[in-house]
Structure formats: C-alpha cells, structure tokens
Structure 1
C-alpha cells in the first residue's frame, strides 16, 4: 500500500513541476494575442485615414477570416452529408450495395478534404500567405491572398499548373486573388 501512495505522490509532484515549468516558459516568451479578437468585435474594425475628413468609416473584414468562413461552410456541408451517409450505412432498410456506396462516398469525402488541405499547404509553400481550395466534381476553385496587392496571370498560371499536375481528375481550375 505504501508503494501505491508513493507512486501517486510522485506523479502528483511530477505533474505539478511540469505545469509550473510550462507556465514559466510561456511567461518568458508569451504568445501574441490580438486583444481585438478576444475582447472586441473581431469581425468589424473601422479604419480612417488621417487627413481624410469626408471619408466615412467603413467596416473592414479580414481576408483570412473570409477564407476561414468559406472553410467552415464547406466543412459543415460535408459534415451534414457524412452524417446522412452514416445514417444510411447504419439503417436496417438499406441494402448491402447502398451501404457499400455510402461507405465509398464517405471515404471519397475524407480523401477530398485531405487533398484540399494538402493543396492549401503546398500553395502556401509557393509563397502565398493564405489560400482556400475547394474541389467539386473536377472543378477546383482556389482563392489566394496575395501579399503585394498585385497579381498577375503568371501567378495564376503557376498555381493552375501546379494543381493540374497534382490532381489527375482536375478538369478546370479557377484562381481568385484577394489583396491583403
């Protein structure tokens, strides 16, 4: 019984040391937090230029937030579809072929989501700060935030070429640029 008490006591002290160590490490190198996102209205920020007396204050939406909303919309649609397919798979009324087709559709949705996330990472590796990729029946739509404010047909061609060589079933690729 003493060994069990010692073990519990030792593990408690070890976890306490770990928590305190992490606290002090984070205290010395704190993470950057955006106070506006925590305490304020994260979606709307008003911007006015000095010397522009007649310009009205307009809400500004962060481009990355728009891309995140697009990701969440696609994720919700796919989640709803997956739950419908799962219900079909678990239904006693479904035939074996229908259950197999539902399983294959779920696997395809998972594969598509993974491929889109991988393509977003690869586009970021090409030098673009943020990208959103959606693939739907052979059509690939890519929204890219460009840093320098300008975009060219050369940049769009580079991304299109990269997508066409990466995905065999990509028939059309549409590249949209958003200025940062």
Structure 2
C-alpha cells in the first residue's frame, strides 16, 4: 500500500516538473500561432500572417449597441424582479397582493423568454443580429441587415412576429446597416 502511494506521488511530481519545464521552454521561444494560417490551405506547412487589406472585414458596431440595449433591459427587469420578490416576501401585504406579485413576476419571465426566443428565430431567418422588446402590446424589432433593407423584409419580419407571438398587436421594425 505504501509503495502504491509513493508511486502516485512520484508520478504527480514528475508530471508537474514536466509541465513547468515545458512552460518555461515555450516562454523563452514562443511560437507565432495563427489559427487561420494553420488550418487554411497552406502547401508549405509554414505559418504566415494574412494580408491586412484582404483579411479586413467590417465589424458590426450595431451588435455592440444591441448588447448595450440587452444589458439595459436586463438591468431594468432585474430591478423589477427584486421589487416583486420583496413584495412577495413582505409580511405587511395580503395573500392576494403576494399572489398578484407572483403572477406579475411569472409574466415578466415569460415575456423575457419570448423576446429572447424571437431574437433567435429572427437570426435564424438570416439576419446577423436582432433585438426584440415588447411593451404594452407594441413589439419593437431592431435588425442588422448586411445587404440593405426593403419593405418586403420588414413585412416578412412583421408577419413572422405577428404569427408567432399572440400578444403582439403592433410591430415596428427598424433596420441598422
């Protein structure tokens, strides 16, 4: 039994020494890794950096704007959930008020889930990014369109939202390029 424990400790220390030595060897002579060059069509097997002019692609600043809008909406809903939770846990409110707060929280969760699902479905239609927000039956859809936009595309999104979401009464579609 003791020999077995000694063997395990010895192998553990040996592997630790091997990992540390490899770390220091690579630290002194780091390799230039470019995943696109490694996995691309490269006949010579050497690593090369891509041409900066031909490899430049536009970055969607609108996607960052969408993330900011999502974070703002998430913050607003989080504070509303906290208020509803404090209502439900309050000893001063009646059972009916607590039930109403609980139902309101469930509706908020359903609405958030429906908005996120609609964003995923709109992205599945071929748009790079989308932001969906519903307030009082009005659905606002903001979409990043790579190839411009048209009234046909807006009508397609509007029809899709109206058929998929029964609470949607008015749909507004805004395109960002």
TM-score range, shorter chain: 0.5 to 0.7
Give the distance between the partners of 1:63 and 1:110, measured in 2 at CA. 26
Runs of 4+ in 1 over 2 A off after TM superposition: 28-31
Give the distance between the partners of 1:29 and 1:112, measured in 2 at CA. 43
Residues 1:113 and 1:29: Cα distance change in structure 2 (over 3 Å):
farther
TM-score with structure 2 setting the length: 0.68
Larger Rg over CA atoms: 2
Shift of 1:159: 0.1
Written as runs of structure 1 = structure 2, the 5 A alignment for 1:1-180 is 62-148=61-147, 150-179=148-177
Give the distance between the partners of 1:107 and 1:30, measured in 2 at CA. 45
Give the distance between the partners of 1:88 and 1:104, measured in 2 at CA. 12
SS in 2 for 1:159: helix
Higher strand share: 1
SS in 2 for 1:170: coil
Give the distance between the partners of 1:152 and 1:63, measured in 2 at CA. 18
- Unpaired runs of 5+ in structure 2? 17-32, 37-58
Residues paired across the two proteins, number = 133
Give the distance between the partners of 1:170 and 1:98, measured in 2 at CA. 27
